[in-house]
Each structure stands twice: as structure tokens, then as C-alpha cells.
Structure 1
Amino acid sequence: MIRLFNIDKWKENKNKWPKKGQWLAFLIAISRTERIILFFLLILGLGAGVSWWRISYLENTKVVPTKGGILREVMVGQPQSLNPLFALLNDADRDISELIFAGLLKYDQEGSLIKDLAKDYKISKDGKIYEFTLEDNLFWSDGEEITTQDIVFTIESVRNPEVQSPLRLIWQEVKVEKTDNKTIKFILPNPYPPFLENFTFKILPYHIFNKVSPQAFILEPPQNLTSSGQFEIKVIEKDSENKIRKIILERNPNFHGKASFLEKIEITFIPTTGDFPTWKNKALSFAGISSEQKSIFKENFNIYKLSVPRYFALFLNQNKSILSQKEVREALAFATPKNEIIEKILLGEARIIDSPFLPENRIEGDFKQYKFNLKKAQEILEKAGWQDKDKDGIREKILKEGEKATPLKLILFTVEQEELKKAAEIIQARWKEIGVKLVIRTLEPTKLLQENIKERKYDILLFGQGLSIIPDPYPFWSSFQKEYPGLNLSLYQNKDVDELLKNSREELNSKKRRGLLQKAQQKITDDIPAIFLYSPYYLYAVRDEVKGI
């Protein structure tokens, strides 16, 4: 029987979804092969739809931070005073100061200087006068207004010899004039192009520190310490020895800039990097992990490698009779295995440094370098009269007529850190091969500063020096900086270098200035007041879930 197509019925039902029975009838009506093809096409279509939705979602949306949350960080070291006037002496103090204090200027993520508390600034044509105007509505976290009185007080405190800030030499000849509560002038005795970087110094709250004796600035933070940075201190936890072990920071409600998304930061301080593994599951970030510990943070962590403007060197005390001899310094330089230290101790996470400048300083030029060569080191000592006549493995030499032979024995001081201790031990082993006995002594940073660095009581100091973006080697190598708080740790003295460094500070032409620094570099590396070693990368381990680093 022939069934006729009912056009009216079709029109009536054309917009209706087929019923369950109709779908079953359809599936029964088609062949098995057709059913398989239909099923495959349905699966393919569903997969394509999901993929299209996912791609469209990712392309048209982005992950954005939301306010709140706590960052728990673990850091090696121990803050001392939480006073920015001493931040150069202690990595922990420096890092905390960056979070709780502000300066007139600051560095952005590209390392360029930008305005912080300053609304505007101008430099006179002769390069001697810097005038700053503060932003409006600046307040400390306790509600007190930030004014130029705080800046004047900070500079006066830096220059106070009783405070003993390492920043003193930078500011001691700078005249400060307060125009009003918003405007202040800094007058230099001579033009000094790199001086602008010094305005990143952190400002102290006058209403808090004017009640603290100068001698107590370095001892411990005031109980009511207030903040001008992104965060303020809420809790300081100390151990039975009165050492700071934990600091809790909260978002500063009066911060003048863009507020942090984080509500709190909890920083736990540990004695050595060896304690990091025990904290792995208790924190989100780990500051300054050692190269050996990269494997510990391999899973569920991102490790960021940062180049920081600092290097480590062996500073050779020129006032010691043995080290006053250039032949000894030269032999020690040739016997120092920089590559071995970087490969074995730092696992490649550092750059070799051969001069007082870093590659990013772009000083360049020709200068003397001392590639590792034990044979050459032995020949230099032998030729200079240092011999091991009694066959005890240590060379000797009569330095003054009528006196006994002086053994080639030196004492090296360094900070109580595992990497520095291991680096010293490698140096000790290689120097032993050329007949030099090296004794290693490690001290915690504060003790090393107070007992040895201030009085220059060491033969050799294995120590790090932080540099500015615009290089200024004057504080480190001028003979006028030999005494503390000067940073000439080798007690180096060269009149030609003094003149070159002085002139480089006053030269406004960048090309001429580079030329002066190239000449200074040549003379310093030829004199060997220090053996430059390496510039380590700063390794920062952060859990995957932490974004926006």
C-alpha cells in the first residue's frame, strides 16, 4: 500500500523535537553500519564543541588576582634592627625594609628609577642641587603625616657618628635644606651623576625615632614602629635568645601607591639553607635557596633566577706584612679556582667576576685577569723567595733581617653561611698545593661586623659587596674610605686611582666617565687588592599556585 506524504501534518510538527519512541524507531530503521557512523559523528561533534568552548573561554577571559590571602615565606638569616639605615649590612633587614619603608625614589621591575614618595624632582644644570617635592596626602601607617621633617631627621641620623650607619659617607658632605613640609633641597659640594640613585634610601618616621638614642638604632626595632611601605609590622616573634624568628606583616591602609593584593605576609627566619626541606610543606615561597636545593623544589614549585648587582671577593688586607707583597697577592690570585667554586658549590648558578665591575655596568676595556694556574703561582712564590725548606708543606721567608722566617700562613674570615664556608674550603685546598696555610673562621654577620670588619681585624675577608646600577667604585676603592664605615675592605691605597675615582664622580659626560673608570679598573686589577670571585644568582622558589611573580 502506498503511503502519501501529508504536507499539513508535516507543517504542524516541523518545529517539534522528536519523541523518544520516534528516535528509537529511527535507530531501528537505519542499518547497523549507519548507526555506528551516526554514533561516531555524535562523539566527534561533542568533542569539537567542548574544544571550541574551551578555546573560546581561554581566549576571551584572563586570570586576575583578587584581594586577600596570606603569603607564607621562609628566609635564611635573622633581622637585627629592622632599621633601613643598616639594611646594607643584613639581607633580612634589607628585604623587610623594602616592604615596610618608602623612599623618595625606587626601582621599577626593569631596574629604572621612578618616583616613590616624590611627586616631582629637578636637578640643577651644574648637577649640584637636587630639589624634591613630596606627593600630597602622605601618611605613616599610624596616621601621622609624612613630611620633609622625616627626611631631614633621617639624613641627620645617617650622618651622626654615634648611629654608625654605613650610609654615613654618602651623605656626610651633602647639605640639606628644608623649604617647607613638602619641598626639600640637597646640595652637593661637587657634581656627581650617580648620586640620584641614593634617593632610594628609606625614610625614618621622626615621631618614632626621635625618642630613640642614637646608639640604640642598630640594636632592635622600636615597639611602635610605623610604616610607609606597602605593609606594616603587626607581630614580631622572638626565640629564647631574643632573636627574631617570625614577622607578620599586614597591608598598610595608608600606603600611597597601588595596594598589594595580599592581606598578610608571614616571614619565618631560619639559621641556614639546610633547614629549607623541613619547611617545604609549610610555606608558599622560599627566598634565597641554595643551588643544591633546586632539586628539592622540583615538583609543584617554580624557581626564579634573578641577577643581583653584587659580587663576592677575597679582600686582601694591605696592612698585613705578608699581603703587602704583590708577589704573594699575585700567586694567590692564580691559585684561586673560580670555576671549581661555581661548578661544585654553586652548581653553575653564578657568573665569574674578574674586576670591580659587573658586566651590566658596561665599563668593559682591557684589564689584567688571573686564570687558574697552580704552576704559575708556585713559580711566582719561588722566585719571590718563599720556600719550604723544612718540608712541612708551608713556605717561609725572612721578611726582616735578623728575624726568623715568617711562614706563609693567613687567616680568612667570612660569614657563617654554608656556601661561603665551602667556597673557602676549596680555596684552602688549592692554596695548600702551593705551600700556603689558610685558616678559616666563620662568624654570624653582626659579630663579624662588630669584631672584625669595623676594626679591619683580618688577613683576608671573603665577603660580598652590593653595587649600584650606575657604578660608583669610590666607596670601595678610594684610600679615603679605608676606615669604617668606609667600604675599602682591602685598605687599598693608590693616588692615581683616588684621582680617577674622584674625577669620575664629577664627570657629567657618560663616555668620558666610562673612560676614567676603565683606567681605574686597569690599575686596581694590576695591584690585586682583592681577588674577585663570582656574582651569584638569587634563587627564589615559589609554589605553582602563587601567580604574578
Structure 2
Amino acid sequence: MLKKIARRTSFLRSLSTNHWRHLLRNLSEKEINWVLFWLGLAALSALFLSGYDYWILRSPAPAEGGAYTEGLMGEPRYLNPAISSASEVDRDITTLVFSGLVKHDKSGRIVPDLAASYEIKDGGKTYEFTLRENLTWPDKKPFTADDVVFTINLIKDPKYQSPLRNNWQGVRVEKIDDRRLTMKLPVQYEPFLENATVGVLPQHLWSGVQPQNFLLTQLNLKPVGLGQYTLTKITKNASGLIRSMEFSPNSRYYEKANISRLILRFYETQENIVNAYKRREIDGFSLSSVLEKDLLATARDVEFYNIKLPRYFAIFFNQSKSDKLTELAVRQALSQAVDRDFIVKEILKNEAEPQRGPFPFGLLEIGEPKINPEYDPEKAGAALGKAGWKIGSDGFREKKLKNAKSATRLEFVLTTTDWPELTQVASALKSDWEKIGVKVNLDVVPVNAIQNQTIRPRQYEALLFGEVLGLNPDPFSFWHSTQRKDPGLNLALYSNKKADGLLETSRQASDPEDRVKKYQSLQEIIMQDAPAVFLYSPNYIYAVSGKINGLDLKAVNTPSQRFENINSWYIATKRIKSDK
């Protein structure tokens, strides 16, 4: 039938205008209707075949094009992977602009990035990397092993004060040739490849920057990397503050991104970001609190990605700043008096899980600790009374401490940031503790100041803050006694020789079961000493416009890792021949 139609339409096309006029004058009405019927049938057949090819034989696929705008709170300062880890904004941008030897895939596994491959030798103490061929920096200078060696040696050099320095102590990085290098560890370290995700700096641009100018150079705000995107435009306001940055796909990256324009807008408050989304100024942002989800109830075309991160929030006690908190009975009672279920259900709207110990639930199947501080304010109050802390005339507990002339009130300062979620949690903790006679004063520090003003100098008595362990956890920097001072992250200034030993040997354990057993033992020691009160492990919530496709955020270590596979995100589509 189709062949017949084709022959007839071919014949009709060959006729000239005069032929048509002559033919139509000599055709009867019935014959004209017959011709029109076949012409219509031919047109419908052509449309059918075209539609069948487009809609049935082809399937939608990502295409280049479109623009994505995201809102971030704060302002970029150090777009440099050697020093960016202290700021969420800086981490986000360096993840876009820079690449490391390896990265995480969508399932959270370590895979090659700038390295084409790697080998682990010498019982896990030597890593040999082979770089991808023909990679060049944006100024067309070749990328070589020299750039990697330079970056790691810079991080190791104490004059540059990199917060990543502890990750590389004792590691020797040696060039074999332009495409190969080795990293030699003093002892086996199972999670080492996590360190190799750090972005690589171009040696030819950074080698002339002296340590005293390292934080001042313009390269920190005009980053040059080998990541998925390249910075193309910076917009400032009248005061000179950066208000937005625009990026385009890096044509020299081995997998070109689909989204043609990426714009990051910077806001002073999270409230401004939420309002910007409602006004459709931005297409996505990270929620700082589950409370913001309710503010978007009327927003159209928004999708929420609820991601479980290997992180938790806790109260870390600085016993060197408060003699009351040096008493184990006090710290244990404070933990027992906290209503974690109330925090999770009422404040966090079930977007979190109660946290009982130093490892988020489900991580490596470590399990919950045997010493489990269940909520029991009556027992907590009784324990304080037994320890000599009696209710005074003002309703708060007090006792006479050693060498004190008069009774000392059981009182301390709880410090946290000005995130709405954390201020609400801090208020709930204050209420819980004052019910058992403990006086609590709140100190709320702006989020952009808490690192330098409070955490780095350890200027707090008790700190409500969060820690991120990673999918392949190494709690060494959080609990080892050598990490009590900055840049270490031992926020409780915890010191225990048995714990130190387990932290050291667990890093070298190649057998997963052995490693888990060491972590379980470590967990029990920490819980027995009670240097912190573990509260909850929250979901990371990412709000994105429905026009953005290709997001797969099931397994990420940190919020900034959402950008590690941004090259698979897309807005525009095309239809391609299906394999079926």
C-alpha cells in the first residue's frame, strides 16, 4: 500500500502547473475527489512515519543548553582547594572549577578523575597514579605530574597554613615522568584515596606566590582549574562585594557538562535566598534548616532532594574552660536529660535521626553504642544530687568546689551559630537542662564568624556544632589527642590513650571487619568518657527547580559534592535513536 502511494505521489510531483490545470479541467468531480483522497492519505502517511520515527524509534536524551542559577549564603573568599575547606561557599565553587586525581561517582565510590588509573602497591603504602593524556590548563599549558607534586607539597608546607596539612603529613609525593607519580605513605591508611580528591593547582601560576601573599593573591578570586566549569564573569555591587559569578563548561575537561551557563548568586541571609527562589531569581539552593521547607509550600515547580550525609550534631565540652564540666557525672547527666526525640520530631520535622554515639547510624554497620543515654530527666537529676549538686534557693544546683570559698552554681555557656535550626535546638537544650537545675546561657555567633572567632581558638565552654565523617570514615581528626588544637577538629579537646591507639590502628586496618570492631571499641570508650552529647544526624535538603534533570544525589560526603557529577545534569533534551 505504501509503495503504491509513493508511486502515485511521485508521479503527481512530476507534473507541471499547466499539466495540473489541464488535468483538473478534464477530470470529473468523482475523479478529483479520488485524487484529493490519495493526496491526503499520502500526507497523513508521511506525518505518521515522521511521528513514529520521532516518538517511537527515538528516546529523549540530555543535550547541551540552558542556564541554572543557584543561591548561596555568604561571599567567596578563597577559591583555592588548599584552603577552601573552612567555607561552604568556597568549597562549592572549588568543586566546580578544580578537579583532583580521583573523585566520587554517583554511588559514592572513588573513581579516577584527572588520573586515568591508579594502582595500590606495597601492602597499601604506595599509590601510583597515571594521568589522563593531553589535558591542558585554560591557558593551554600542559597538565603534568609536576602540578600534582607542587599542590601536595604546598599543602604540606606549614608556611601556607593549609587546613588539609594533617592529611598529608609523612606522605612522600614523587614524579616518575610527566604522566606518572607515586605517593608513599609511612604506614597503610585505608581511607587515603579520599585525600586524593583535593583539587590540583597549576604550578606555573602559583609557584611565584610567596607564603605571606598566599591569602592575598587575586588567584584566590580568579581561580584557574581543570574542573567541569570555568569562571567567566564576576559581578560586584557598589560596595565592591561579589554578588554573582558566572561559569561555562570547561572545554578541556574530559567530559563536557550539558548546562551551558551556571550562575551562582550570593546573599547575606538564608531568608533572602528563600525569597529569591519564590521570585524565581534562582533555580535551586541548599536548605540550612528544615524550617525553610514550609516557607516553600506555595512555590511552584520545586523538588526536594533529601540526602543522608555521614554527619551529626553534638554538644562538645571544652573542660579547660569550665571546671563544672570536668566532672563525669555532670556530663553524663546532661546527656541523659536531653530529649532527642523532641528535637527530631518537633524542631527538625522528622528530617533527621536521633544520634547516640560518634558514628552516624548505619555507617559501616558499626551500630549504636552499648552505653546508650536514654532520655530520663529524673535519673539525671538524681545523679547530679548524688554527685553533690543540690538545688539552691534560686532553683539551680550548686555545690562547694575544691578551694572555693562559697558554693558554685552549676552553670555554663552554650555556644552555637545563628542558623535558625541550631538556635531552636539550643533553646530546647537550655529548657531540658534547666528542668534538672542546670543554668545555661546561650551565646549565638554569626555563622560567618564562628570558625575564626570561636572554633579555631577553642573559645567556648560547650559548643553545639556539626561534624562530617565521610562515607569511608576516619574519625582520627575528631577524637585523637594530637588534634585538640587548630587545625585539628577535636572540638571536645578529648584525650584518651586507648582511644588514640584504636584511632591509629583502625586507619591501617585493611580487613573491613577488623576496622569495624576497632570502631565499635572506640565508640564505647568515648561514650564512657562522655566528652560530648550526641544529638541528631540531619538530612541534607536540596531544593531544585523541576526543569533540572539528571540529579542523582543518593551518596555524598558533603553538600559541595553535589557538584562532583554536575556534568550529568541537564535542562535541554534531544531525541536520539533508541537501541531497542
TM-score, normalising length: structure 2: 0.82
Distance 1:409 1:16, change over 3 A: farther
Aligned twin of 1:335: 337
Report the more deviating stretch, 85-94 or 520-529.
Answer: 85-94
Structure 1 residue 445: deviation in Å? 4.1
Aligned twin of 1:36: none
Confirm or deny: 8 A CA contact 1:475 1:488 kept in the other structure.
Answer: yes
Structure 1 residue 219: deviation in Å? 5.6
Distance 1:364 1:289, change over 3 A: closer
Aligned twin of 1:309: 310
RMSD: 2.7
Distance 1:278 1:224, change over 3 A: closer
Aligned twin of 1:7: none
Write the mapping of 1:137-286 to structure 2, written as runs, cut at 5 A. 137-218=134-215, 222=219, 224-239=222-237, 243-255=241-253, 257-279=254-276, 280=278, 281-286=280-285
Write the mapping of 1:7-406 to structure 2, written as runs, cut at 5 A. 59-218=56-215, 222=219, 224-239=222-237, 243-255=241-253, 257-279=254-276, 280=278, 281-288=280-287, 290-298=289-297, 299-319=300-320, 320-358=322-360, 359-364=362-367, 366-389=369-392, 391-406=393-408
Q: What amino acid sits opposite 1:151 in the alignment?
A: V
- CA offsets 1:296-334 (integer angstroms, 9 cap, x no match): 434321111112222111111132322111111111111
Separation (CA, whole Å) in 2 of partners of 1:243 and 1:462: 30
- Alignment coverage as a number of residue pairs: 507
Confirm or deny: 8 A CA contact 1:273 1:290 kept in the other structure.
Answer: no
Separation (CA, whole Å) in 1 of partners of 2:346 and 2:241: 32
Confirm or deny: 8 A CA contact 1:306 1:537 kept in the other structure.
Answer: yes
Separation (CA, whole Å) in 1 of partners of 2:213 and 2:517: 44
Confirm or deny: 8 A CA contact 1:302 1:543 kept in the other structure.
Answer: yes
Runs of at least 4 residues off by over 6 Å: 50-57
Separation (CA, whole Å) in 1 of partners of 2:406 and 2:140: 69
Distance 1:58 1:537, change over 3 A: farther
Confirm or deny: 8 A CA contact 1:83 1:221 kept in the other structure.
Answer: no
Structure 1 residue 242: deviation in Å? 5.1
Separation (CA, whole Å) in 1 of partners of 2:242 and 2:371: 45
Confirm or deny: 8 A CA contact 1:336 1:427 kept in the other structure.
Answer: yes
Determine helix, strand or coil for the equivalent of 2:405.
coil
Determine helix, strand or coil for the equivalent of 1:457.
coil
Determine helix, strand or coil for the equivalent of 1:246.
strand
Confirm or deny: 8 A CA contact 1:208 1:225 kept in the other structure.
Answer: no
Confirm or deny: 8 A CA contact 1:80 1:219 kept in the other structure.
Answer: no
Aligned twin of 2:515: 513
Confirm or deny: 8 A CA contact 1:143 1:254 kept in the other structure.
Answer: no
Q: What amino acid sits opposite 2:373 in the alignment?
A: Y
Q: What amino acid sits opposite 2:189 in the alignment?
A: Y
Confirm or deny: 8 A CA contact 2:97 2:223 kept in the other structure.
Answer: no
Aligned twin of 1:9: none
Match for residue 477 of structure 1 among 467, 476, 479: 479
Separation (CA, whole Å) in 2 of partners of 1:401 and 1:528: 25
Q: What amino acid sits opposite 2:133 in the alignment?
A: D
Report the more deviating stretch, 504-513 or 106-115.
Answer: 504-513
Distance 1:55 1:335, change over 3 A: farther
Separation (CA, whole Å) in 2 of partners of 1:229 and 1:108: 15
Q: What amino acid sits opposite 2:446 in the alignment?
A: E
Distance 1:297 1:397, change over 3 A: same
Confirm or deny: 8 A CA contact 1:208 1:224 kept in the other structure.
Answer: no
Report the more deviating stretch, 234-243 or 201-210.
Answer: 234-243
Confirm or deny: 8 A CA contact 1:81 1:217 kept in the other structure.
Answer: no
Aligned twin of 2:17: none
Separation (CA, whole Å) in 2 of partners of 1:400 and 1:291: 45
Aligned twin of 2:463: 461
Q: What amino acid sits opposite 1:127 in the alignment?
A: G
Q: What amino acid sits opposite 1:180 in the alignment?
A: D
Separation (CA, whole Å) in 2 of partners of 1:216 and 1:431: 47
Distance 1:321 1:244, change over 3 A: farther
Structure 1 residue 85: deviation in Å? 2.1
Structure 1 residue 289: deviation in Å? 5.4
- CA offsets 1:141-178 (integer angstroms, 9 cap, x no match): 23222222222222122122232222111111211212
Structure 1 residue 474: deviation in Å? 1.2
Q: Specify every segment of 5 or more residues in structure 1 that has no aligned partner in the other structure, as ranges.
A: 1-11, 20-49
- The answer to whether residue 414 in structure 2 is matched with residue 412 in structure 1 is yes
Structure 1 residue 111: deviation in Å? 0.5
Separation (CA, whole Å) in 2 of partners of 1:373 and 1:500: 31
Report the more deviating stretch, 242-251 or 520-529.
Answer: 242-251
Distance 1:366 1:337, change over 3 A: closer
- The answer to whether residue 494 in structure 2 is matched with residue 492 in structure 1 is yes
Separation (CA, whole Å) in 1 of partners of 2:339 and 2:217: 40
Confirm or deny: 8 A CA contact 2:98 2:226 kept in the other structure.
Answer: yes
Structure 1 residue 340: deviation in Å? 1.8
Determine helix, strand or coil for the equivalent of 1:524.
helix
Match for residue 541 of structure 1 among 540, 543, 550: 543
Distance 1:375 1:60, change over 3 A: farther
Structure 1 residue 220: deviation in Å? 7.0
Structure 1 residue 213: deviation in Å? 3.5
Q: What amino acid sits opposite 1:337 in the alignment?
A: D
Determine helix, strand or coil for the equivalent of 1:96.
helix
Aligned twin of 2:442: 440
Confirm or deny: 8 A CA contact 2:230 2:250 kept in the other structure.
Answer: yes
Separation (CA, whole Å) in 2 of partners of 1:440 and 1:65: 50
Structure exhibiting the larger radius of gyration computed from Cα positions:
1
Q: What amino acid sits opposite 2:367 in the alignment?
A: E
Confirm or deny: 8 A CA contact 2:200 2:225 kept in the other structure.
Answer: no
Structure 1 residue 272: deviation in Å? 2.7
- CA offsets 1:452-505 (integer angstroms, 9 cap, x no match): 222211111111111122121111111111111111110101111111111111
